[in-house]
Structure 1
């Protein structure tokens, strides 16, 4: 698939003398384009629609449990601290939630805005531009003089992180609910702060502007907005969120701080999509989803199903990776769409539609393959609502395809690929998947 395609210049209906020189290696037997006698092959939907993926558990950073407080209570009392408190993550065994699995919605949709972030408690899930996590916290109050626990509370914290593809801006949507409280856990106030970690990528923000009162059953809901400073072409960084809870006459010894796992490192760049800047979660490989509407799409679906590598089929085959060098792209195209391809007079405005795409590192040209090494096919108009492909040589054991596809339909796939690279901010050598639906 490409912008500049090899197009037939022959007059409509003109006969072409085609020979077996078009065919694949000597071991393969085939017929010339337009005269193929091989049985047609049915082609249907191919590839997987992406869904949010688990990034890892929500874990407090350098957590100091409340058990570490007890041995120090005498010292706190000597320092004049009558009531001290601590925050820790509620033990997994005590967590109760109805959501025990990843969201089923496609990855192109937002996971869910907090406070209704519907993912498994204690887990992060993410897509290319969106992430969602939740954690339950326990707040404990100690009397330093009696060395006893005199109060406590439980909270549910949720955060959604949404990245912008074309502005370099990203946001968080945050919520903190006070689920229960007892004893001295009174007059509680909460602060929520999110910041960037690494290289001064952006500034910090508070979700609801300082310490806010919170009572049992109440949810504090707010958000933060951050702007990538774009000091370099690309930059990776993580986020850090700190939740601080204080009670009347009480001193919090350490807040609850969590940083998402490494899979949720954010990458911002200003080179993937023209002059725009934008950010993604690069660990989530995006999927180019095409409709099964024309012969260019059929060429992709057939190739995913029949080539030995099943290029682009997540869970079954190998990913594709982007090639950004235009000289390499043109070279790839020329090597595959060579003299082995001759226009088929039965295909209007026939063009050489190569797969894997010339703008990938998996192009047959980068593997030293030529047109004769590729499966050569003619996607035909659908019959009874189903697409049919006529193989023009032996298509078994191949790693590339050249299809006879009308120029406009060829170009539609090339345009979709180009837009996908821009919109998903796919960088050089970065992997992606395909789905034809």
Structure 2
């Protein structure tokens, strides 16, 4: 049977009015998510007839579905390395001259003015993208849960130590990409250095990169092809891949990878660093390996905060979580509005949280909720559970329930709440929720915990379609 949008809204309005008369309730939130599969479909409805209802989902639900970012951008940190930084080198020309050095090479981590992007002008392309983030932007670090990527410009100046005159300038592009696997303790890094421009008069320019992934023996790293100086000319590139592995298999181990770029121009050798303390991109090439999640050890980029998107399959639970995020003044887990949730890895703490919110004796399943269970948000397996913020009974939470209603011959799950029972100051939300939706979300969170290798106190966002619209 085909049901028009106006019919759904009229029937929904009648359901609401009846609910008000029958239960003397103020219905603040009614979510009829026809975008998702109904609880019971009509046997006579041909496949595909739900498309009209799907098209108007936003009109019915009055919610915006947000999409988790595919990557995140880390803030710029650190500064030019003190190693051969041009400001520092030119400040100490006298010492260099007295040491018998006629010229010095120094570095600036920035884009040359003639290649800086200008409004309405596209910067000239000099090389094909070697890593996934080059086309996104340069001179910043981008990451996903399993990759760290950067493409940064570096200027090399040759300075006369007697006159402080710049004898020549070269410009290079350094691209790098670290890739991890959540089921392997081995991770790799591809790096490419391109000498884009140079007016330096020199018979030979060589480049070498030194990388350190651990000061102890917990990280095994090969040195080729960057271990020895390699000659380079304008318009050419040097590239290669490091293979690294965590040598231990117990607990977890963080690896802060640091680098030194060593360049020789006309007999003068200079070094600049990045990734290290107080250097450019300070602390941003950070990999963590562990054997604490699932039966496999693996590695991730833990600075990436993932987003747990509540599946449309569990639309009633999604509606409950989204409503709680909107109605609580702290907006827990709602990106750009509140703070992320953090994993609670202790099963004992998780059960203690659940005992306070759902097992304290104050919960009564709504008789109109099919296969009712007690659902809570923030999750019991998060540090943001109401118990951790002084809640001593689930009765203190915002209260919601789900009812099954027949609309146009189909059964839909509708989320209700009593307006007086959703105070913004509440530290949690509690709902009478169908078991399949409650356990479905819990199972998905468990699988994401493994995929993202979320350890104790690791942050994550929750996307349940919460809307800025009133």
TM-score tier, shorter chain, comes to 0.7 to 0.9
Q: Which residue of 1 aligns with 2:305?
A: 285
Structure 2 residue corresponding to 1:337, chosen from 345, 355, 358 = 358
Q: 1:116 to 1:330 in 2, by over 3 A?
A: closer
Greater CA drift, 321-330 or 42-51: 42-51
Tell me the CA shift for residue 154 of structure 1.
1.7
Q: Which residue of 2 aligns with 1:234?
A: 252
CA contact (8 A) 2:365 2:373 kept: yes
Q: 1:143 to 1:315 in 2, by over 3 A?
A: closer
Aligned length: 388
Task: Please give the secondary structure, in 2, of the residue aligned with 1:41.
Answer: coil
Q: Which residue of 1 aligns with 2:322?
A: 301
Structure 1 residue corresponding to 2:198, chosen from 176, 181, 186 = 181
Tell me the CA shift for residue 84 of structure 1.
5.6
Structure 1 residue corresponding to 2:153, chosen from 136, 154, 157 = 136
Give the whole-Å Cα distance in 2 for the aligned partners of 1:208 and 1:408: 54
Greater CA drift, 282-291 or 36-45: 36-45
Q: Which residue of 1 aligns with 2:282?
A: 261
Q: Which residue of 2 aligns with 1:419?
A: 447
Give the whole-Å Cα distance in 2 for the aligned partners of 1:217 and 1:162: 27
Give the whole-Å Cα distance in 2 for the aligned partners of 1:396 and 1:207: 61
Give the whole-Å Cα distance in 2 for the aligned partners of 1:58 and 1:431: 24
2:392 equivalent to 1:372: no
Matches within 5 A, 1:194-273: 194-206=211-223, 208-209=225-226, 210-230=228-248, 233-247=251-265, 250-259=266-275, 260-271=281-292, 273=293
Q: Which residue of 2 aligns with 1:61?
A: 81
Task: Please give the secondary structure, in 2, of the residue aligned with 1:157.
Answer: strand
Task: Please give the secondary structure, in 2, of the residue aligned with 1:405.
Answer: strand
Give the whole-Å Cα distance in 1 for the aligned partners of 2:23 and 2:214: 63
What is the CA RMSD across the aligned residues, in angstroms? 3.6
Q: 1:326 to 1:36 in 2, by over 3 A?
A: farther
Give the whole-Å Cα distance in 1 for the aligned partners of 2:298 and 2:151: 26
Tell me the CA shift for residue 357 of structure 1.
0.9
Give the whole-Å Cα distance in 1 for the aligned partners of 2:24 and 2:448: 35
2:421 equivalent to 1:394: yes
Q: Which residue of 2 aligns with 1:12?
A: none
Tell me the CA shift for residue 318 of structure 1.
3.0
Q: What are the Cα deviations for residues 72-103 of structure 1, in whole angstroms up to 9, with x where unaligned?
A: 565565xxx7x865241255673734499xxx
Q: What are the Cα deviations for residues 95-130 of structure 1, in whole angstroms up to 9, with x where unaligned?
A: 734499xxxxxxxxxxx8528623443322334332
Give the whole-Å Cα distance in 2 for the aligned partners of 1:115 and 1:58: 23
Which has the larger share of helix? 2
Matches within 5 A, 1:92-107: 94=113, 96-98=115-117
CA contact (8 A) 1:270 1:276 kept: yes
Give the whole-Å Cα distance in 1 for the aligned partners of 2:458 and 2:77: 26
Structure 1: which 5+ residue stretches go unaligned? 1-30, 101-111
Q: What are the Cα deviations for residues 31-90 of structure 1, in whole angstroms up to 9, with x where unaligned?
A: 99x95732251453466734412232474432323525743565565xxx7x86524125
CA contact (8 A) 2:176 2:190 kept: yes
Matches within 5 A, 1:142-157: 150-157=167-174
Structure 1 residue corresponding to 2:436, chosen from 405, 408, 415 = 408
Q: Which residue of 1 aligns with 2:178?
A: 161
Tell me the CA shift for residue 433 of structure 1.
1.5
Give the whole-Å Cα distance in 2 for the aligned partners of 1:394 and 1:233: 44
Task: Please give the secondary structure, in 1, of the residue aligned with 2:399.
Answer: strand
